[in-house]
Amino acid sequence: MIKLFNLDLHISVIEDFKYIINELYGDNISITDWSISNMSWVFKKPLTNVEIINQHSWKNINDELINKFFHKYYDFLSQFDGFIVTHTPVFCLLYEKFNKPIILINSCRYEQPFSWTNDIYKWNNLNIKLKNMWDKNQLTVISNNKADKEYLKHGTGIDSILIPSLCLYTKLKYNPKNDICLIYNNNNVNIPENTKLKHKTSVLRNNYTWEELYSFKGIIHMPYEVSTMSIFEQYSANIPLFFPSKALLKNLIIHRNYYFQSRYNKIHKLNNDYHPNLSLALHGDSWIDFWIDNADYYDNNMKYIIYFNNFEELNFLINTCDFNMISNNMKQHNMERVDDSLKKWKNIIEKIFTMI
């Protein structure tokens, strides 16, 4: 049996990986997952009590804390054959000294928390260490979205493997029980409700289930990010999804008070210090095109998404679209996505470990 370890700040990325590995190898690969996410309750997992690096301290990560963590957990971690890093990539540094395989699933801006703390020295040091581990084949990097794949490549020189997330762990599919389309995230944009279009907060209680969410006729997104696990979940469930066109979204970001969290350094109102190779993604004249053009919901991996250029067109579409046909088309495409993902993951795992 191959034994892998994960320390996780984000509940969904590791669950996606665990589901895929179980589909491929069953009990032949075991994954020990320590969650330090306050959302761990979603998967009925306890919040792990971790010393030194935890939900309170990780943003202050430095060489001293990394060394303390290494010595504290050396005996425990030495029993594993390799490590899974999900959220966030800086956790690769916790396992470097074990000289065992590290699989990084790159799903967010790789440099956090250093773009939050404005520590360009640690950011550049992370670039160097990730590239060194990658060059000596200790580190295998999979990006679950095109934007972060390109961002990581510009920042570190690492050309990661693109495998979009599947998020099949919900084990549920589209099951419309009413004629309402749901506005999942309006993002400070005033989309008027009507008999067929309702805001999520109007019709769903807190802590709603996936089953409840998937019972709506369609879901409208005003996205706040280039890639989210909830979008992967909904797409894989074959739910008809509506998104603003590229032109509309870019216009809203430029001319409206529209929140879009691609540049972490700007969210935290820090200065413009960053690796010079990342200017295309972070500079004030180019960042919108970089992120929007590489967003999941404009990529061919997510065929059959419906785009609207204005909110009048959105209302027209939800009254005229053939939702069943769209969902069926998504279902066929999702079969191809699953097959492609499993093949790629199998190839990666069996290059790293000798499977019996």
Task: Give the confidence band of 116 by pLDDT, cuts at 50, 70, 90.
Answer: confident
Residue 346 has pLDDT above 70, yes or no: yes
pLDDT digits (tens, 9 = 90+) for 31-52: 999 999 988 888 888 899 999 9
Residue 102, SS3? Answer: strand
State CA 122 to chain mean position distance: 23
- Residue 235 tokens, joined: 């797409």
| Residue 82 near residue 102, CB atoms below 8 Å | yes
Task: Give the confidence band of 273 by pLDDT, cuts at 50, 70, 90.
Answer: low
Q: Where in the chain is the domain with CATH 3.40.50.2000?
A: 2-166+339-352
Helical spans, DSSP H, in 26-73: 63-72
pLDDT digits (tens, 9 = 90+) for 143-161: 999 999 999 999 999 999 9
Task: Give the confidence band of 263 by pLDDT, cuts at 50, 70, 90.
Answer: confident
- Residue 301 tokens, joined: 């991996």
State residue 269's pLDDT score: 60
Distance CA 62, CA 122 (A): 8
CATH homologous superfamily for 2-166+339-352?
Answer: Glycogen Phosphorylase B; (3.40.50.2000)
Please tell me whether the overall predicted TM-score, pTM, comes out greater than 0.85 for this model. Answer: yes
Distance CA 144, CA 231 (A): 12
Per-residue pLDDT, averaged over 22-30, amounts to 96
Distance CA 238, CA 231 (A): 11
Amino acid of residue 328: N
pLDDT digits (tens, 9 = 90+) for 167-218: 999 999 999 999 999 999 888 888 989 999 999 999 998 889 999 999 999 9
State residue 45's pLDDT score: 86
State residue 324's pLDDT score: 98
**C-alpha gyration radius of the chain:** 21
